[in-house]
Amino acid sequence: MQKLLSLIVLCFVAFSFNPLAAQKTKKAGEYYQLTIYRFTSPEQEKMLDGHLKNYFIPALHKSGIKTVGVFKAIANDTAALKSLYVLVPVKSLNAISEISQRFLADKNLNNSDYINAAYNSPAYSRMETIILKSFHLASKMNTPILKSSRADRVYELRSYESPSEKMFRNKLHMFNEGGETAIFKKLNFNAVFYGEVIAGSRMPNLMYMTSFENMEDRKAHWKSFSSDPDWKKLSSRQAYKNNVSKIDITFLRPADYSDF
């Protein structure tokens, strides 16, 4: 009996300190498919809106993906080439290909003007798909709680490019273990997601999205960020110097049919 108890204790200790077992208990992350449509005309925008609102998003909801973000660039008001962003969270990379396969087999989708657009009157000028993996210390997408009207809300999408893969890993460490995401959380930036780009045209890079009641609220938050003692301490660390070579910032507003 004593030998049996000793064996049980040894097995328990071995499991407790098994890195593979510990990995299984670690909070699972997720992936994001960010699709960017470029278009130039009201007719194209109408086709995109109709497809997303009446076919694409309902199909995703039916498949179990309950929160889909659709955003339009605020710069669309004056830009000739306009942009529409679709953010879809998934549990695995396989789920992304499953979405495409499911839609190809969906008979209702064949009724969409988007699908049936003529070759000389397409629904968009170009489209780009970016695949991201969530940060391990910010592993889930969050639906922001905002009180302002959708027309006033500002979603800020940022892309940070690094000069090399090594420096990119350094910037990821700065966000995670370094505490940059923790500072954003402390200052109530209402972050939607943080993601490492694993397939895209600007690699190596990471992307993240924060949200605000309006543009004035956004300016106030960034002012508090730049003066925050924790940020000043983190950004002054020599170990994190020169890990970003380019920053792109896009201001977005949610479509009226977006889930948030």
Looking at the domain assignment, is residue 12 inside a domain? no
Looking at the domain assignment, is residue 136 inside a domain? yes
Low-confidence stretches of the chain (pLDDT < 50) are: 1-26
> Rounded distance, CA 254 to CA 4, Å?
62
Residue labelled with tokens 């892309």: 159
Looking at the domain assignment, is residue 11 inside a domain? no
Query: What is the pLDDT, as a whole number, of residue 107?
Result: 79
Contacts of 56 (CB under 8 A, 6+ apart): 86, 103
Amino acid at the residue 182: A
Query: What is the pLDDT, as a whole number, of residue 8?
Result: 40
Backbone angles phi, psi at 103, to 5 degrees: -70, -35
Considering all CA atoms of the chain, what is the largest pairwise distance in Å, rounded to the nearest integer? 81
Looking at the domain assignment, is residue 62 inside a domain? yes
Q: What is the CATH number of the domain that holds 247?
A: 3.30.70.100
Query: What is the pLDDT, as a whole number, of residue 27?
Result: 60
Looking at the domain assignment, is residue 8 inside a domain? no
- CB-based contact 127:35 (threshold 8 Å): yes
E strands present in the chain: 31-39, 69-73, 82-90, 126-134, 154-161, 193-199, 205-212, 246-254
Q: Which domain holds residue 111?
A: 27-254
Query: What is the pLDDT, as a whole number, of residue 13?
Result: 38
Cis peptide upstream of residue 204 (ω within 30 degrees of 0): yes
CA 188 to chain centre: 18
- CB-based contact 125:81 (threshold 8 Å): yes
- CB-based contact 75:251 (threshold 8 Å): yes
Residue labelled with tokens 């130039």: 40
- CB-based contact 130:199 (threshold 8 Å): yes
The candidate with the shortest Cα–Cα distance to 114, out of 61, 62, 60, 37, is: 37
Cis peptide upstream of residue 254 (ω within 30 degrees of 0): no
Ramachandran category for residue 64: left, alpha or beta (phi over 0 → left; psi -120 to 50 → alpha): left
Looking at the domain assignment, is residue 113 inside a domain? yes
Looking at the domain assignment, is residue 10 inside a domain? no
Which pTM does this prediction carry? 0.88
Looking at the domain assignment, is residue 239 inside a domain? yes
**What is the tally of structural domains in the chain?**
1
Query: What is the pLDDT, as a whole number, of residue 134?
Result: 99
> Rounded distance, CA 7 to CA 109, Å?
59
> Rounded distance, CA 149 to CA 132, Å?
29
